[in-house]
Amino acid sequence: MPELPEVEVVRGGLTPAVTGARVCRVRVLDSRSLRRHPGPSEDFVERLTGATLAHASRRGKYLWLPVTDASEALVVHLGMSGQLLLRDPNADVAKLTRIVLDVEQPAYGPVRIDFVDQRIFGSMAIDELVPTNDRPDERVPASVAHIARDPLDAHFDDRAFLDRLARRDTTIKRALLDQTLVSGIGNIYADEALWAARVHYDQPTRVLGRARARTLLGEVCAVLTRALAEGGTSFDAQYVNVNGASGYFSHSLNAYGQQGLPCPRCGTPIVREVFMNRGSHFCPRCQRIRL
């Protein structure tokens, strides 16, 4: 599943093409990709056609494009395999394309935006914009308002996060994946940050300690920043940027997907254990539970 770095790469690539662009035509090729839209396909097409798009915004794994008077936005969730691809208007439409937007960008002319989704877990929808709880002058889609800020957000409050984390009676990886506490981290980057901070994924938060929690938060930011610089993590063709290129952070992974290989720090084989219907990867020597 695309996580924060992958979605941010898509947002950054999309912004020049969509900012100030007018939507000339909307084609819904598969209405299943509109399951989060509050209305039929015809409503989606009617409300979006003729609208002018603003710059792409993101919170966690959600993308949105404010439209026309900025009272509502086109919200995109990439799900497991969703892609937003910029195409020449005359290019062939790929088989797994679900929604097509033809736009006219003042600086670049006509551009086509294809929403491609192999597994159809992603979606597009039009949603109203509402003020955020912590900054009333900032507006986000109503469907995104419950999502916490991510650690790379300029308004992320480190102290408030550490305070909330200390009050949670859970384990640390569960906390990192809780989108109401902190967003955008996901399984890959949680494993990488925990490895870097030498914290076991099942470490109880009540005895983690503020100093170790602060160190872990620093490693989360460092891992996300490195992944973003390398274009995200691609294991197959399902995640690509807006030009169809893959990220290469997969070559920099120390823990995730490295089971059986020596820990880069101590040489002990990396272990994978089942966790929340997925896997957790860690070094049993470097990352021990402390009680």
**Which residues have a catalytic role annotated?**
2-3, 61, 278
Other CB atoms within 10 Å distance of the CB of residue 290 = 13
Q: How far is CA 221 from CA 154, 157, 172, in A?
A: 12, 13, 16
In degrees, rounded to 5, the angle at the alpha carbon of residue 128 between the alpha carbons of residues 122 and 161 is 75
Identify each DSSP E strand in 97-185 by its residue range.
Answer: 97-105, 109-117, 123-131, 139-141
> Which three-class secondary structure state does DSSP give residue 53?
strand
Q: How far apart are CA 115 and CA 59, in angstroms?
A: 19
Q: What is the C-alpha end-to-end distance of the chain, expressed in Å?
A: 33
86 contacts 242 by C-beta, under 8 angstroms: yes
157-162 own/partner pairs: CB under 8 Å, 24+ apart: 158/214, 158/217, 161/217, 162/210, 162/213, 162/214, 162/217
122 contacts 82 by C-beta, under 8 angstroms: yes
